[in-house]
Amino acid sequence: MSVEIFDTTLRDGTQGEGVNLSIQDKLLITQKLDEFGIDVIEGGWPGSNPKDEEYFQKVKLLDLKNIQVCAFGSTARFPDKVKEDHNLNMLIKSETPAVTIFGKTWRFHSQKSLGLTDEQNEELIYKSVEYVRSYGRRVIFDAEHYFDGYKDNSEFAIKMLKAAEQAGADVITLCDTNGGSLPQEIFNIVTDVKRHISTPIGIHAHNDGGLGTANSLSAVSAGAFHVQGTINGLGERCGNANLIQIIPNLILKMKLETKSLIDLKYLTSFSYYVDEVMNLIPNKRSPFVGKSAFAHKGGIHVSSVLKDSRMYEHIDPKTVGNEQRVLVSDLSGQSNIRYKAKELGIDLPDEKEFSKNFVQYLKTLEYQGFQFDGAEASFELLLRRELNDYKPFFTVDYAKVNVMFDENKNDYSEAVLKVKVENVIEHTAADGNGPVAALDHALRKAISRFYPEIAEVQLVDYKVRVLDGEEGTDAKVRVLVESGDNNSTWGTVGVSENIIHASLQALTDSINFKLYKSLYVQKQLK
């Protein structure tokens, strides 16, 4: 059996909190979904807003290779006025080859929300599907709240599906709209539905119980061929079933084929692309594609992974375009250090004593509050310094920061530094928008004439974490700084009871790392 993948990121996904897409955003994502191998894309609800209407006009101009564009809407409002219904006519006007129509299949919802009798709801579904089908469109009927409806009154729920089937629906999708069903319930209900109707079955799951992926796979196991979801699980409340998790499970674990060929090597980059267009931060712990999905921290784990990664990895990360990572922390062992050194191209002494001592040194620093998970540049400088392969290009011998503000909302910060570069003392000052910016400006000003390369360095991110919060304002803080240039980004760390001192440590490491890399590359080229 080949499984049809139906994406509703541009419709159901945009109902998620914090998601807002322009028409251009939607068109870019459409093209990427097409390239990746998604079968059907639900672009929006043309009867609900001008933006979606414009999208359906502009999407016709794209040179799409694989994907079938689908418009979304509801059944008509009144059984006796189907042909005059604005919503249905907007679906037809969109000229998409496929149309999704949702209807009520939970008796409670039909009676309370629409005030319809069983017969009126059945007629509404039949006539709405029949009307759109008469225009030659492929009709996907979404049975809203189906699993809740089935558990409440299975006879009513199945009767509504039969109405859609008799009207000519091409696919009947069973929706776990509230996202509260369990996998075994999904399996049993889909199995029963297949005894009553012969139309191909689909599944539309939500993640309110954390089971969106599991419920989708359970439905496929029971015979559903059509799976709806969103990229990265976007959607209202807790989100929709996550296609980024469903697709690799279908292909790698269930050994099923998708209708269109999907190359899983692009799964990770595809996931990150959609987040980038939506201006969302990727979930580090997302299965298959997250930065932490194949990250190893415990020393025993790393030792085993180095021998055979299958011991702690359920698949080869390269299969889904991800990569194995080893972290260094107070849980590290010698294997972590040797792995990281190899990754960085650093040759360690053959004797194990160095690794053992360095691990202990690292654990002492972590106990003091340092963390190198997100500060691998600081870790590399630390390791190279222990190997006498690096020494700082400059030192800060004196630092003073003045901060002033008054009742008129005037705000001023100034940093005064004495920086030693090549035995020359640079005494300089600079102001900035806050004390950390002033420090950064003064530091650059002091060393730029010696090392013009630092002009390329930009501050990408700055985070402060309070350690030992019970100490109040006397607590230590950890500052993580992410910096970048035209080619890469890197993270550095500083720890102190003084936030300015911790920031200066992280900034100093950042610039030293840039200089080391630049001058090391030049040395290698010679």
In tens, the pLDDT along 183-241 reads 999 999 999 999 999 999 999 999 999 999 999 999 999 999 999 999 999 999 999 99
* Mean pLDDT value across residues 457-483: 82
Q: Beta-carbon neighbour count of residue 308 at 10 Å?
A: 9
Euclidean distance between CA atoms 94 and 512, whole angstroms: 58
Residues 232 and 355 in one domain: no
332 and 466 belong to one structural domain = no
User: Same structural domain for residues 338 and 399?
Assistant: no
Judge whether 121 lies within some domain: yes
Confidence of residue 247 (pLDDT cuts 50, 70, 90): very high
CA distances from 276 to 111, 167, 279, 326 (A): 43, 42, 5, 25
Mean pLDDT, the chain, integer: 88
Residue 439's pLDDT is 92
Q: Are 333 and 302 in contact (CB under 8 A)?
A: yes
Whether the pLDDT of residue 251 is over 80: the answer is yes
Which is nearest to 235 in space by CA: 270, 294, 280?
A: 280
Amino acid of residue 290: G
Q: What is the DSSP letter of 247?
A: H
The band of 492, judged by pLDDT with boundaries at 50, 70 and 90, is very high
- Has residue 354 been placed in a domain? yes
Please tell me the distance from the alpha carbon of residue 147 to that of residue 176, in angstroms, as a whole number: 6
**What band does 172 get if pLDDT is binned at 50, 70 and 90?**
very high
Domain annotation covers residue 285: no
Q: Does residue 316 sit in the same domain as residue 239? A: no
* Gap between the Cα atoms of 190 and 167, Å rounded: 21
| Token output for 210 | 């954390």
Among the listed ranges 160-174, 208-222, 403-417, which one has the minimum average pLDDT value?
403-417
Which has the closest alpha carbon to 270: 204, 206, 320, 207? 320
In which band, very low, low, confident or very high, does the pLDDT at 505 lie, cut at 50, 70 and 90?
very high
Give the separation between CA 513 and CA 522, rounded to whole angstroms: 14
Domain assignment present for residue 257? The answer is yes
CATH of residue 476's domain is 3.30.160.340
At 464, list the tokens: 């402060």
For the chain, how many structural domains are there in total? 4
Give me the residues paired with residue 74 across strands: 102
More confident position, 126 or 48: 126
180 and 307 share one domain = no
Tell me which residue of 91, 163, 177 sits closest to 130, measured CA to CA.
Answer: 163
Query: Which strand (E) or helix (H) includes residue 453?
Result: none
SS3 call for 5:
strand
Q: How confident is the model at residue 367 (pLDDT cuts 50, 70, 90)?
A: confident
Residues 382 and 398 in one domain: no
Pair (14, 159) in one structural domain: yes
237 shares its domain with 328: no
Predicted model pTM = 0.72
Residue 504 has pLDDT above 70, yes or no: yes
Q: How much of the chain, in percent, has pLDDT values that exceed 90?
A: 60
What does the pLDDT read at residue 525?
A: 46
pLDDT at 438: 92
Longest dimension (CA), the chain: 91
Do 382 and 404 fall within a single domain? no
Determine, yes or no, domain membership for 287. Answer: no
Given this model, what pLDDT does residue 347 score? 75
CATH for 16: 3.20.20.70
Q: DSSP label at 470?
A: G
Contact 485, 510 (CB under 8 A): no
Quick one: pLDDT at residue 405? 82
Instruction: List strand residue ranges (DSSP E) for 117-276, in order.
Output: 138-144, 171-176, 201-205, 226-229, 257-258
The residue range of the domain holding 150 is 2-277
pLDDT at residue number 380: 86
Mean per-residue pLDDT for 463-470?
Answer: 77
CB 10 within 8 A of CB 206: no
CA atoms within 13 A on the CB side of 173: 24
**pLDDT tens per residue across span 96-121:** 999 999 999 999 878 877 778 899 99
Whether the predicted pLDDT of 338 surpasses 90? no
